[in-house]
Amino acid sequence: MSTRTAPSSIAPLFDRLCGVDFTIGNGIHLDAKGFQSSLLLDLFRLLNTRCDLTIDEFLNCQAHVMNYGLPATNTLSPSSKTDLLKMEQLVQQVIKLFEPRLKQVRVKAQAHPSDTKSVMVEIQAAVVFGEQMLRFAPSFHLHPGQVELVVQPEAV
């Protein structure tokens, strides 16, 4: 059995700095499951990080290390359709700016059924792994102060 590695599967910087071991082979390449786990971890970190921009500033900003993360969303109400659309735009923008491995990204935000202050965010995307296009579809529960993973990508 041979293990194929792909240029797009090099372990991300966060994983290498933090010592997260999703590696195989020579220690710098990931298999498909490890690659998806690494993507999930990076996306989780991205959604749990806050930048100092306002929502409107963030929606019009360029990728820069000072803009990493989401702006504060405590002014958005999960019961407002307009605010849920704004949340979708924010998540779409943060992925566009800081997670370029995800392609064809679609984001759906809805009020959490039992937590009136929280939002459920579903992400549908594709990711290139070697010569394959993999489906990546995690869901997150966005609380006012933190983000929780709801669905593991390999479970969808």
Question: What is the reported pTM?
Answer: 0.77
State whether residue 22 is helix, strand or coil: coil
Residue 140 to residue 17: CA distance in whole angstroms: 25
Beta bridge partners of 109: 121
The three-point CA angle 100-137-62 to 5° equals: 25
Domains of the chain: 7-155 (3.10.450.40)
**Model confidence pLDDT, tens digit, residues 86-104:** 999 999 999 999 999 999 9
| Residues 6+ away with beta carbon under 8 Å from 66 | 51, 52
**Model confidence pLDDT, tens digit, residues 22-61:** 444 444 567 778 888 888 889 999 999 999 999 999 999 9
- Indicate the pairing of strand 139-142 with strand 132-136: unpaired
Using the structure block, give the residue that is written with the tokens 């929606």: 59
DSSP state of 10: B
